[in-house]
Structure 1
Amino acid sequence: MSTTAEHDRPASRPDRSPKQDRSRATRQRLLEAAVACLAEHGWAGSTVAVVAERAGVSRGAAQHHFPTREDLFTAAVEYVAEERSTALRDLFPEGAADRRAVVAALVDLFTGPLFRAALHLWVAASNEEQLRARVTELEARVGRETHRIAVDLLGADESRPGVRESVQGLLDMARGLGLANLLTDDTARRARVVTQWAALLDDALG
């Protein structure tokens, strides 16, 4: 016979966490595959079907998570940008006294597959009106976050004249170095530029 406590106990619900875990894992594989495809094949060669095959999922599963191609690729670049931002902060959990190390880490953000993928997305957005608005919004958010990270890691006081522009100049320079690195290995020249910019920031930031 059931006790009163047993009658009052809410009916147990099936544990859906394994299914949710699989769904999150599938989504992450799709995002990572999308960035890799975009970096390697550009916008024209990166279809949902190609990404799904690379991620090892069906096209239907991909479209369940991301109904449109634009949804998939903007989410992918945003996801990896967030991951890179977290990794950058983790390099210097208590800030960094060595500004050259910080400058070098920020420059590295613009020389990997994320930047290459984002560049392909920007080029596609320049020709596709529907994609342009989403990529413009994404770039603004990623840019603001990167700027905040740079300010924190450099110990910059933006209330002082010229400091904000100096930090933004660093990020603009880093983007330019990323572009230069797309066609040839620019490691040696980039190292010299990083050293010089770190010295300039020491003067500008105090």
Structure 2
Amino acid sequence: MRQPQQDRSRATRQRLLESAIEALAELGWQGSTVAVVAERAGVSRGAAQHHFPTREDLFAAAVEYVGEARRTWTREHSADLPTGPERTRAVVDMIVRIYTGPLFRAALHLWVAATSDEQLRTSIVELEARIGREQHKLALELLGVDESTPGVRETVQATLDMARGLGLANLLTDDSKRRAGIIDRWAEVLDATLNAGART
């Protein structure tokens, strides 16, 4: 039986978004044209522009797709997190892995491009702010803490900011050995801070 038109359209859109992320991670903004993305997705440029009329539309949707992929990945792996004293270390490691993988690399190329592209920047700033709020909320859930407790919100945000910095450090060289020690130490600091907050 022939695939229904709506399903084919959804599948094409999905392939375009996945190809856009792959192209960004491998080629950067300059090399990720609509034509390149369409070729990688196995569709015509016209078909790509039917779904995303402009390059900015395509990559703004790609940012949203990255955010959704981050959430899905985190949700899928959160079931494997240990309970007890090892949980904080595992949560920090999971957050860092979000920012050291190809999804973050692709998002970073968009951030850089957005610094000199007003239309793209408008889309990126809004989407990243929403994704950041969602990541923060998810981190609170995984750690099992309440951000109304003094110091918790700032400490969890510091964890996300640190993970982003480690992602940047990992762009040019494999930083995994040094990163492991930092994750160990930060998990100790985070545990101490969260436990102190719980006692107050």
TM-score, normalisation: structure 2: 0.92
Q: Which has the higher helix share?
A: 2
Q: How far apart, in 2, do the equivalents of 1:169 and 1:120 lie?
A: 23
1:64 Cα offset (Å): 0.6
Residues 1:166 and 2:152 are matched in the alignment: no
Q: How far apart, in 1, do the equivalents of 2:89 and 2:187 lie?
A: 5
Q: Which runs of 5+ in 1 are unaligned?
A: 1-14
Q: How far apart, in 1, do the equivalents of 2:31 and 2:80 lie?
A: 42
What corresponds to 2:198 in structure 1? Answer: none
Aligned equivalent of 2:55, options 55, 69, 75: 69
Bigger Cα Rg: 1
Three-state SS of the structure 1 residue aligned to 2:4 is helix
Which moved further from structure 2: 50-59 or 196-205?
196-205
Give the number of equivalent residue pairs. 192
| 1:20-48, Cα deviation, whole Å (9 max, x unpaired) | 11111100000000001011111111100
Q: Which runs of 5+ in 2 are unaligned?
A: 196-200
1:5-84 matches, cutoff 5 A: 18-84=4-70
Q: How far apart, in 2, do the equivalents of 1:95 and 1:186 lie?
A: 23
| 1:58-104, Cα deviation, whole Å (9 max, x unpaired) | 00110011111011011112112212212212222497531111110
Q: How far apart, in 2, do the equivalents of 1:53 and 1:16 lie?
A: 23
Residues 1:99 and 2:99 are matched in the alignment: no
Q: How far apart, in 1, do the equivalents of 2:80 and 2:20 lie?
A: 33
CA contact (8 A) 1:77 1:114 kept: no
| 1:119-175, Cα deviation, whole Å (9 max, x unpaired) | 111111100111111110011011011111101001122111110000000000000
Runs of 4+ in structure 1 off by over 6 angstroms are none
TM-score, normalisation: structure 1: 0.89
